[in-house]
Amino acid sequence: MIKLKDFEVWFVTGSQHLYGKETLKQVDADSKKIAEYLDKSANIPCRVVFKPVVTTPDKITSICVKANNAKNCVGLITWMHTFSPAKMWIAGLSILKKPFVHLHTQFNRDIPWKSIDMDFMNLNQSAHGGREFGFICSRMRKNRKVVVGHWQDPEVVEKLDIWMRAACAWNDWQGMKVARFGDNMREVAVTEGDKVEAQKKFGYSVNGYGVGDLVAVINKVDSKQINSMVNQYKRDYKVKLTAAQLEAVRTSAQIEVGMRTFLEKGGFKAFTTTFEDLHGLVQLPGLPVQRLMADGYGFGAEGDWKTAALVRAMKVMATGLNGGTSFMEDYTYHLDPKGMKVLGAHMLEVCPSIASGKSSLEVHPLGIGGKADPPRLVFNVPQGSGVNVSVMDMGNRFRMLINPCKVVKPDADLPKLPVARVVWQPEPNLKVAAGAWILGGGAHHTGFSMALTAEHIEDFAEMADIEYLMIDKNTTISNFKKDIRTNEVYYMLANGLK
């Protein structure tokens, strides 16, 4: 469903005419080599397209206009091989709508100590050319990532890979449609927010659809479609069901086909449900939601459109990487001082992309909502590193919280727990992590990923130009409180700077 190779990043090199034709030809050739190297790298997720060196304000503005209008261009890599007087960049940068990364590299990795002369010095000027470009970006308060090092350094390629993934997700959000089946869970605060502001800030639109409209599509699903879906379940999961449970699974298959049809026809990339509004649906959709998430749809329960959009973005970023990405909820704690942990889960809707091995398809009663027993996939999650992310509407801005964690084995089997679950230890430890999370107003719902790192999310937050607060191994509660207070002032004033 998601193909990152459909997206392009444009490689744009700045220079000026002062150097003469020969040098500019060399700059052009060197830039082309770097762009091709990155394009061919197995560790780069999308295409890297070389663009001829820009040497005048008009050319710079023109490439920025073109990038804005190219639908599949997700951003620019900018590089100053030589010195590019940066007033030339003001017009272009002020209209550029796409994210950019400043690659602060040099074509020659090493100084040729014995042969270096003024010609070499004049050609390899990134060290000061990059500083001139950096100044104008900072002077214009431009959010961007700066990556420093030789272009063949694997660490540099990795940082570009991370940034490109974030840029693809950002591009995916522009014009994205999020469907809400039913509204918000009644009286819940954190899942609410300003959808108009979100559309202005993030580019995606959120609209509500009557559950009856979805039910009408589900009712049109025929038994052939249901049979084929049930057969798919039998191939994909461990299935051991009674006749009555199989009937529930058939109902679930019908709901899944209907939801897929609705979402595909409407061109939606993310959706929400709420157990408080299931009018005409016999079950809360569990299995269908899990399977739709596994196919790349963003999801948020209880009307949580912000998390639905976030999960979709994280899935785009994680495309092709090891480890899955899911909607998640901090559900319950293990507060033993010898090893405090969080058990993450949801009533049903956890994505099987994070499962270890084959999931078990089971039917159990749901103690909430008063509907028929819903089928769901039950599984554990392998150990490894993960990250939890949350976006909240703070009234005057959106805030993103990021908390890396270590997924650990549950202390024992959980034979009576009828849902998918993840057990993790947040960084730096549960006491500080949960304390900071709560002081930061972080939601109980998150996007959880074992494919992404905090750096993916940080790059994405820069592109979205929102506040992000990291809770990691260096966090202390008193410093975190200071960050929050500083940010309160910053975000009140920041719009005046830009």
Q: What residues line the site for Mn ion (CB under 5 A)? A: 301, 329
Tell me the C-alpha distance between 449 and 324, whole Å. Answer: 6
Sign of CA dihedral 235, 236, 241, 244: negative
Judged by beta carbon, residue 185 or residue 239, the one nearer Mn ion is: 185
Q: Which is nearer to Mn ion, 73 or 289 (CB)?
A: 289
Residue 363 and residue 252: Cα distance in Å, rounded? 10
Other CB atoms within a 10 A radius of the CB of residue 265 amount to 9
**Residue 367 beta carbon to Mn ion: minimum distance, rounded to whole angstroms:** 14
User: How far apart (Å, rounded) are the C-alpha atoms in residues 19 and 123?
Assistant: 8
Cα–Cα distances in angstroms (integers) from residue 140 to residues 91, 202, 249, in the given order: 11, 21, 57
- Minimum CB separation of residue 332 from Mn ion in Å reads 13
Min dist. Cβ of residue 213 to Mn ion (A): 23
Which residues, at least 6 apart from 442, have a Cβ–Cβ distance to it below 8 Å?
Answer: 390, 392, 401, 403
Q: Which residue number, 96 or 292, has a Cβ lying nearer to Mn ion?
A: 292
For residue 184, how many C-alpha atoms fall within 13 Å in the half-sphere facing its CB?
15
Q: Which residues contact 131 (CB under 8 A, 6 or more apart)?
A: none
Given 3-state DSSP classes, what are the helix, strand and coil percentages for the chain, each rounded to the nearest 5?
40, 20, 35
Cβ 39 to Mn ion shortest distance, Å: 42
Cβ-based nearer residue to Mn ion, 60 or 301? 301
Nearer to Mn ion, 79 or 437 (CB): 437
Q: Least distance to Mn ion from the beta carbon of 309, Å?
A: 16
Residue closer to Mn ion by CB (options 237, 299) is: 299
Task: Using CB positions, name the residue nearest to Mn ion.
Answer: 301
Of 289, 216, 305, 209, residue with least CA distance to 256: 289
Shortest spacing between CB 262 and Mn ion, in angstroms: 22
CB closer to Mn ion out of 229 and 345: 345
Quote the least distance from Cβ 100 to Mn ion, whole Å. Answer: 37
Q: How many CB atoms lie within 10 A of CB 359?
A: 21
Q: Which is nearer to Mn ion, 172 or 329 (CB)?
A: 329
In angstroms, what is the minimal distance from the CB of 329 to Mn ion? 5
| Residue from 454, 452, 403, 450 nearest 429 by CA | 403
Answer whether 152's CB lies under 8 Å from 183's CB. no
112 Cβ contact partners less than 8 Å away, ≥ 6 residues apart: 120
